Structure 1
């Protein structure tokens, strides 16, 4: 008779980004993770018409919306204080923070009302490539390293190997 024991993670996962630590939930149940991922993916396709799995045709405004949605998705998996900071938007004018918001539309409306070159900026600024790396990291944490399927009928595609393809004949085709 075989016996196996499985343990739940009890300590938060920590991602350090540019010296700032963000704590993520120790465990996220599979259905909660999949719900959050599907809402992120499907919501962006609905709102922007862009598939987050294929960003080739997206324009700058669409990419801004996708970046914000990615932040919201990641924040759903963070501990509350870190999520609040990660999502906070500051209205900046002449290098000074005028006000902070959690909603982009509210922040944008305030910036327009404040005038004088006021603009909306993430409180925690980081390159988009870091957001993508965080996405890949949390997918690995909560889904066992497999990116969730985009639909039940999709199958993953294999990536080609780097380098030149061989020109020799395959022994299996012999």
Structure 2
């Protein structure tokens, strides 16, 4: 009978954001849940197209992409961190009466209330580059060190060159410079 031990993470992953505090991520996720969430992010990114000039993009499309990224990250966090990271508060009479992780849920709850009610986005504010770094970090954590195998033109890596680089000298005595070799 063969026996094999498998390591299962039991401690949360921690993203230290300096003065903003820490965000904790669950130790392990199921592959299908991770891939489903990541594919939603990729679908949102496809809406951006090939143009990387954010100043020329439709703000609604851009909001959708960032929203998908934030939702994906929040699903990987422990509840306390997710509630800080994504927080839409329903305000009535100047006081917070409820909070939700999506704007749609908060708007639905607010519509059920009477009187002067509003929804405020009190989500954790992070620079775009930090949001992107969190996305890459979690992809490495839960995707096994590489990005998931779903297709994405923006995340493909360069192919390795075929063969191995040679270390021998050429039989040619010419002085033509060649890539990787200096002229003699």
- TM above 0.5: yes
Query: Structure 1 residue 88: deviation in Å?
Result: 0.6
Structure 1 SS opposite 2:121: strand
Structure 1 SS opposite 2:141: helix
- Cα separation, partners in 2 of 1:58 and 1:74, compared to 1, 3 Å: same
Per the alignment, residue 29 of structure 1 pairs with 30
What is the 5 A alignment of 1:90-105? 90=89, 100-105=99-104
Structure 1 SS opposite 2:15: strand
**Residues matched between the structures, number:** 153
- Cα separation, partners in 2 of 1:108 and 1:61, compared to 1, 3 Å: farther
Query: Structure 1 residue 30: deviation in Å?
Result: 2.4
What is the 5 A alignment of 1:102-141? 102-105=101-104, 120-141=120-141
Per the alignment, residue 162 of structure 1 pairs with none
- Cα separation, partners in 2 of 1:129 and 1:171, compared to 1, 3 Å: closer
**Does the Cα contact within 8 Å between 1:71 and 1:87 map onto a contact in 2?**
yes
TM-align CA RMSD: 3.8
Counterpart-to-counterpart distance in 2, 1:55 and 1:153: 13
Per the alignment, residue 14 of structure 1 pairs with 14
Gaps of 5+ in 1: 160-166
What is the 5 A alignment of 1:158-173? 158=158, 168-170=177-179
Query: Structure 1 residue 81: deviation in Å?
Result: 2.1
**Does the Cα contact within 8 Å between 1:91 and 1:121 map onto a contact in 2?**
no
Gaps of 5+ in 2: 160-175
- TM-score calculated relative to the size of structure 1: 0.66
Counterpart-to-counterpart distance in 1, 2:180 and 2:104: 61
Runs of 4+ in 1 over 6 A off after TM superposition: 152-155
Range 56-65 or range 131-140, more displaced: 56-65
Structure 2 SS opposite 1:14: strand
Counterpart-to-counterpart distance in 2, 1:75 and 1:33: 12
Larger Rg: 2
**Does the Cα contact within 8 Å between 2:14 and 2:22 map onto a contact in 1?**
yes
